[in-house]
Amino acid sequence: MADQVMDAPAALRRPEGDRSGRALATTLACAALLVVTAAISLGWGASDASALGVVLDMVSGGAESVPARDRIIVWDIRLPRVILGILIGASLAVSGAVMQGLFRNPLADPGLVGVSAGASLGAISVIVLGTGALAPFVAPLGIYALPVAAFLGGFVVTMALYRVATRRGQTSVATMLLAGIALGALAMAGTGFLAFIADDRQLRDLTFWNLGSLAGATWTKIAAAGPIIALALLAAPFLARGLNGLSLGESTAHHLGIPVQRLKNVAIVMVAAAVGASVAVSGGIGFVGIVVPHLLRLMIGPDHRYLLPASALLGACLLLVADAVSRTIVAPAELPIGIVTAAVGAPFFLWILLRRRGILDL
């Protein structure tokens, strides 16, 4: 337009339709938000232990003379919980975003389409049968038995889902959701059977899977799930360009030079590993994978080069906040975090559904 006022220096302005500046700024803001949330979570809890005091005490070599109890609370209870929250939140949100990119649909979520249920079945098999029928496989794996079994469960469901829902490179939304329900129900049947044959102590462990919780976060759990989740998160950025191309469909992605089959394989393994490891240590925490990427797409657009890292950061923030709510809303008792995320996430999901009803043709 000739009559447009030339305000900012032309060189600094991004061309119209280029949202990369906003995306970068939002990603940085999410990172800052995560730092703040993590710091608050570390200092906030049922006891009055001061995280700042403990940190200052460590830095000054004991000059602050903080009681040993406070040091244990901050170092062995709160810190593992915050780290686990960050890992799980990032893992679930990125898994959701990758899965949505893979299925080319904003409603795909590991929790909704049975991947988490498959992972739970794998984990519960280890809990119930780990000392019995599965002992020869479980014993050599040590603390990794649970995440590996959960990975296998999630992997089988994701593969089956892709086979059923995708035909000639096109994924049908309705088929995907319905196949997810069927596969989830099948996994639940297996879970139910294992609960039926479980003893009392195992049964108490099982209840935890159905609700999801960060309670009982330990350094051991972080050691078991952390490396797997970290690897999956590090792999995610390499999928970004391919997922962008894939949003135009499989054949167009191929025309753009993307090795589509390899991209799909890596994405499926990545999602199954991240979800499996998360479910293994924290149970089924739902809806993080659908809420976070969707909110971010509204803010910064769907470019996966920004969407994936921003999802990791915002997902971690969201889970820390949800954990804070679950710890305090019924204090001194603690609500399982899965209840909090479902109470917020399910209405959000319905809202997306209403907005997209016309497009989805369901």
Q: How far is the CB of 303 from another protein (least distance, A)?
A: 6
Q: Please tell me the distance from the alpha carbon of residue 83 to that of residue 235, in angstroms, as a whole number.
A: 20
| Residue 245 sits in the site that holds another protein (CB under 8 A) | yes
CA distances to 116, 158, 271 from 313, rounded to whole Å, are 21, 24, 17
Residue from 13, 18, 36, 72 touching another protein (CB under 8 A): that is: 18
Task: List the interface residues with another protein, window 285-304 (CB under 8 A).
Answer: 297, 301-303
| Residue 175 sits in the site that holds another protein (CB under 8 A) | no
Read off the tokens for 44.
């906030």
Residue from 27, 37, 91, 105 touching another protein (CB under 8 A): that is: 105
Among residues 109, 104, 98, the alpha carbon closest in space to that of 346 is found at 109
| Residue 199 sits in the site that holds another protein (CB under 8 A) | no
For another protein, give the closer residue by CB, 163 or 204.
163
Piece in contact with another protein (CB under 8 A), picked from 41-49, 57-65, 239-247, 325-333? 239-247
| Residue 255 sits in the site that holds another protein (CB under 8 A) | yes
Q: Please tell me the distance from the alpha carbon of residue 102 to that of residue 246, in angstroms, as a whole number.
A: 7
| Residue 172 sits in the site that holds another protein (CB under 8 A) | no
Q: Please tell me the distance from the alpha carbon of residue 311 to that of residue 299, in angstroms, as a whole number.
A: 12
Piece in contact with another protein (CB under 8 A), picked from 104-112, 143-151, 180-188, 211-219? 104-112
- Report the residue count for the chain: 362
Q: How far is the CB of 317 from another protein (least distance, A)?
A: 23
| Residue 16 sits in the site that holds another protein (CB under 8 A) | yes
Angular region, 287: left φ>0, alpha ψ -120 to 50, beta rest: left
CB 109 within 8 A of CB 290: yes
| Residue 259 sits in the site that holds another protein (CB under 8 A) | yes
Q: Please tell me the distance from the alpha carbon of residue 337 to that of residue 134, in angstroms, as a whole number.
A: 30
Q: How far is the CB of 173 from another protein (least distance, A)?
A: 10
| Residue 356 sits in the site that holds another protein (CB under 8 A) | no
Binding-site residue total for another protein (CB under 8 A)? 29
The answer for residues whose C-beta is within 8 angstroms of residue 42's C-beta and 6 or more apart is 51, 74, 78, 79, 82
Q: Please tell me the distance from the alpha carbon of residue 124 to that of residue 142, in angstroms, as a whole number.
A: 15
Piece in contact with another protein (CB under 8 A), picked from 66-74, 127-135, 243-251, 337-345? 243-251
Among residues 22, 81, 66, the alpha carbon closest in space to that of 334 is found at 81
Strands (E) in the chain, as ranges, are 166-167, 170-171
Piece in contact with another protein (CB under 8 A), picked from 14-22, 67-75, 272-280, 283-291? 14-22
Q: Please tell me the distance from the alpha carbon of residue 244 to that of residue 271, in angstroms, as a whole number.
A: 17
Residue from 133, 174, 248, 353 touching another protein (CB under 8 A): that is: 248
- Cα atoms in the 13 Å half-sphere on the side-chain side of 231: 16
Task: List the interface residues with another protein, window 260-279 (CB under 8 A).
Answer: 260
| Residue 249 sits in the site that holds another protein (CB under 8 A) | yes
| Residue 177 sits in the site that holds another protein (CB under 8 A) | no
For another protein, give the closer residue by CB, 253 or 280.
253
The answer for residues whose C-beta is within 8 angstroms of residue 48's C-beta and 6 or more apart is none
For another protein, give the closer residue by CB, 161 or 280.
161
Piece in contact with another protein (CB under 8 A), picked from 80-88, 103-111, 322-330, 335-343? 103-111
By CB under 8 A, name the binding residues for another protein: 15-19, 101, 104-106, 241, 244-249, 251-252, 254-260, 297, 301-303
